[in-house]
Structure 1
C-alpha cells in the first residue's frame, strides 16, 4: 500500500507538476540508475518500481518526450533477458525473482515504443543482425516444449537426447504474469512491423496448427490441463474412484530411494515404440502379437502370465514416476495402470473404490516380483519390508519357539485404544494359551501354558502402519468404518516392540535363532506420510499428506489430493488433530424443529488410515547398488 501510494506521487510529480519535460526525464534516468542495485536487493518488493517505470516510459512516448538513451537501454534489456535464458538452459532455473523478470519484459516492451518499424524488424526477425528476439521469446521463454515437438516432427530427432534434467523443456517464463509479459512484448514487436508478425504467425502455426484436421471453432480456448507450479509437484488424475491408487502412488514416489531405484531399474520397458498412454488405439496400430506368441503363452502357463503382468505393472509405475518427476503439466493421467492393474486376478472397476492398503500390498508384491524376474534386487522389500517374530513362550518349562514372517504393513487396532503407543503395546502383549488351548511343547512332549505373541524382528527403513478403521459386519452384511479418536506421534521409537527390546525389558535372552542386529541399529522413526480416508466404508475419498525435505534441509508438508497438490500446515498440532485423528467435534447444523442453527456433537468422518514413518538413519545410500542418480538417466527421443 505504501509503495503503491509513493509510486502514484512520483507519477504525478513527473507528469503534471511542471510545464517542461525535465522532471519526467530525470525520474526515468533516476529509476534506471537503481535497476541493477537496489531493485536486485529488494526483488520481491519490486513490482511497484517496475510498474512506475513502465508507466513513465509509456507517458514519455505518448507525449513526445525524447529519450536519447532508449536504444542503449533496450540493448541492455535484451542482453539481460538472454542471460536469464542461458541460466535456465544450464541450471534449469532462471535464478531471478518472477517480479524482476516480469518487470524487465515490461521495460523492453515500453522501450520498443521509441523504436521505428525498421529497428523493430532488426531486433525481432532480421537474421543478419542475429538478435532474433521473436524466435527466442517463443522458443525459449514461452514454448520450449513445443519447439522440441516441431523439431521431432520435422527431423525425427530432439536437439539433445541426453538432456536428462529436461532443461530444454523448461520455459523461462514459468508463471502466468511473466508469460503474459512475454506475450505483450511479442505484440509490441509486431506492432507496425509486418515481417515480425509474419514470422510469429508462421512459428505459432508450425507449433499448434500444422497437423490439425479440423480448425478450432472456439474462441478463448482453455486447455484442459494447467501448468505445473514452478516449485511444486505433479498430481494424478482420478478416473472416478481411483483415489486409492493416487494416494498410495504419491506416497511411494515421494520416498526418494524408491523413486530413484524404480526409475533406474532396467529391462521392463524395452520397446521404444510402446504406447504408455493407455488410450484405445484403432485396429492395426500398436504391437500385434503373432500366433507363435499365442502358442508360447499357452505353453508358459500361469507362471509366465503372472511374470508378464508383474513386469507390466513395473513399466506402468516407471511411466507414472517419470511423469511425476519431469512433467510440466498440473497432473498426469495414468491410463496405462488403470487398464493393466488387477486386484485378486480381476480388472478393477474405475468407478468402484478399493482398499488403499490392499492396493499397496498388491503393488509392492508385483513390483518386487518383476524386479526379481529381471534379475534385480527386490527394492520394495528392502525399503518397506520387515519381519515379525511369531513367538510362543512356554510358562511351564524353559522352552520357547519362534517363527519369522515377513511384512510390508503393520496393522494395529484403533478400537478401545486412543493412541498408537497403547495399540502397539497391546499388539506385542500377546495372549495366554491354557487349558484345552494350551500349546504342546515338542521338547517336553506335553501341553503347557504358553504366551503367544507377535513382535517385530526386523525394522524396515520406511515403516507402513495400517489403522484398522474398517471391519465387515456379518450380521448387517456390510462393511463398517470406525471414526474413533486415535492419535499418533510425529516421532516413534519402535524398540519396545522388537524382539531385542522385549527381551531386554523382560530380562531374557534373545532367541538363539535370532541373529542379533548391531547394537547401534536405529529404532527411531519420524512421521513422513499420512493416507486419509474421508467418508463411509461403502464409499469415500482417499488423499495423502506427505512431508518433503527440501535440498536446503527444510521440511514442508504437502497435500496430494488427486490432481491438486498444495502446501498445508500439518506441522501444526491442532491441524494434525483436526485433519487426521478422527473423533468428535462440535459442528453447526440446522435444527428443523427450532428453525435455526445450533451446535451438535458430530463425528469426524475424515481420519488417518495409513501412516508412513521414515527411520532416522535411512538414506538413499541403501539403494546404491540399484539406484542411479536421476541426473545420470537419459531420456530417449520418444515421449512417454
Structure 2
C-alpha cells in the first residue's frame, strides 16, 4: 500500500486526524469477508476503545491460552499503536484463530460477511461472560457488572439468574417486543427478545425506512395460524407485530440480498436498489420516541451471486469517507456512498451493493 498510503496522507494533508490510523488488511485467500467486517468494527469507536482497554488490562503471559477476543484485541492494538499513519497489517493470528474455532471459515471458499459478524460478536460475548462468571464471586466485582441485559434465564436449580451485560451488549444489543393481540378478548401478550443486528427483507426501489416499516407491520394470524390465547383458553384470530422496545447504541442492519429460489434450488443475489440514508430516524418501529442515528460504515458485497464475489468496507472517520479494499485504502466523496444503494434494473453492470449497515446513535454521541 506504499503509493496508496502516501496518496491518502497527501489527500488528507493537514486534515489527517490526530492519533488516527488508516491501515489496510492483508488477504489470506478469500478473507475479504473478514477484513471488511473488521474495518467496520475498528471504526466503531466505542467498541474499539473498549477492546483496547481490554487489551491493556488483560495482558497475559506468553504461554496463556489465546482466543478470538485476545487475538482481536491484539490486532486492534497493533493498528492503533503504529508509528506510521497508513500502511498494511497482516491479521494472520486472528484469521488462523477464526479458522481453528469454526470449520465454516476453514479453506479458501467465499464466505458470508454477515454470518462472520454474527459468529464474531457472539463468540466475544461468550468469552466475556465466561470471564465474568469466573470472577463473579470476587469481592472486587462491582454491582454495575451485574445489570440485566434482557429476560431472566432460569437456572437448572430453578433460581432465576440475570445475565451479565458485557461491553459488546452495551454497544450492539437492543430489545424487540413481539406483541400479539387476541381479536376476541383484546388481550395483548408481549414477549421481549434481544438482538445484536436486524435482518431486513428488501424490495425493489425501496429504502431502509420502508424496510423497517414492513418489519414492524401488523400481521393477522388466522386459519391454521391462529394464536392460542391464555385468557380465552383456545385458538383465536389475532394480530401480531414486532416493535423496537430498546434501540441499541450501534444499530447494525443486514439487508437480505440473498434469496433462495426453489425452482432453481439455489440462492440468488437481489441487486435491488435500497436507499440507506446518512441520517436515520427510527420513527415507525419505536414504542415511544424517535431515535436518531448516523451512518458510519457499510460492508459492500461485490458480485452477482452469494458463492462468488468480494467484500469492501466504506467507513466514515472524522467526517471523511474512506474505502477499505483489503490492503488498499482510498478516500472517497460522501456522494459516492449512494452508488452502493443497488440497481433500479434487474440486469445491470453494477454489482456493488450495500449489504451490512452500521449506524451510531446520535444521543450516545452527544450530537442530538
TM-score range normalised by the length of the shorter chain:
0.7 to 0.9
Shift of residue 577, structure 1, vs aligned partner: 2.7
What does residue 254 of structure 1 align with? 43
* Alignment RMSD (CA, Å): 2.7
**Partner secondary structure for residue 604 of structure 1:** coil
**Equivalences, count:** 317
Give the distance between the partners of 1:416 and 1:564, measured in 2 at CA: 32
Give the distance between the partners of 2:172 and 2:28, measured in 1 at CA: 28
Higher helix share: 1
1:202-240 Cα distance to aligned partner (Å, 9 max, x none): xxxxxxxxxxxxxxxxxxxxxxxxxxxx97501111111
Given candidates 513, 520, 525, the residue that maps to 2:293 is 525
What does residue 310 of structure 2 align with? 541
Shift of residue 527, structure 1, vs aligned partner: 1.2
**Partner secondary structure for residue 577 of structure 1:** helix
Looking at both structures, which has the greater relative contact order when contacts are Cα pairs under 8 Å and sequence separation is at least 6? 2
1:410–1:466 CA contact under 8 A, matched in 2: yes
Query: Is 1:609 equivalent to 2:355 in the alignment?
Result: yes
Shift of residue 341, structure 1, vs aligned partner: 0.9
Instruction: Extract unaligned runs of 5+ from structure 2.
Output: 8-18, 133-144, 146-164
What does residue 413 of structure 1 align with? 201
Give the distance between the partners of 1:475 and 1:430, measured in 2 at CA: 30
Give the distance between the partners of 1:613 and 1:343, measured in 2 at CA: 31
Aligned runs of 1:341-356 on 2, under 5 Å?
341-342=98-99, 345-346=102-103, 348-356=105-113
1:433–1:452 CA contact under 8 A, matched in 2: yes
Give the distance between the partners of 1:396 and 1:403, measured in 2 at CA: 20
Given candidates 569, 572, 582, the residue that maps to 2:342 is 582
2:204–2:273 CA contact under 8 A, matched in 1: no
Instruction: Extract unaligned runs of 5+ from structure 1.
Output: 1-173, 177-229, 275-286, 288-307, 502-521, 550-554, 587-600, 621-640
Give the distance between the partners of 1:543 and 1:332, measured in 2 at CA: 16
1:155-209 Cα distance to aligned partner (Å, 9 max, x none): xxxxxxxxxxxxxxxxxxx979xxxxxxxxxxxxxxxxxxxxxxxxxxxxxxxxx
1:395-448 Cα distance to aligned partner (Å, 9 max, x none): 221201111111111111113561111111111113101133221210122332
Higher strand share: 2
2:100–2:106 CA contact under 8 A, matched in 1: no
Give the distance between the partners of 1:335 and 1:345, measured in 2 at CA: 16
What does residue 64 of structure 1 align with? none
Classify 1:338/1:476 alpha carbon distance in 2 versus 1 (closer, same or farther; 3 Å).
same
Give the distance between the partners of 2:344 and 2:232, measured in 1 at CA: 53
What does residue 151 of structure 2 align with? none
TM-score (ref. length: structure 1): 0.47
1:389–1:405 CA contact under 8 A, matched in 2: yes
TM-score (ref. length: structure 2): 0.79
Given candidates 310, 330, 339, the residue that maps to 1:566 is 330
Give the distance between the partners of 1:315 and 1:537, measured in 2 at CA: 31
What does residue 380 of structure 1 align with? 168
1:339-365 Cα distance to aligned partner (Å, 9 max, x none): 111498426235212111111111111
Given candidates 297, 321, 328, the residue that maps to 2:76 is 321
Which moved further from structure 2: 449-458 or 336-345?
A: 336-345
Shift of residue 560, structure 1, vs aligned partner: 1.1
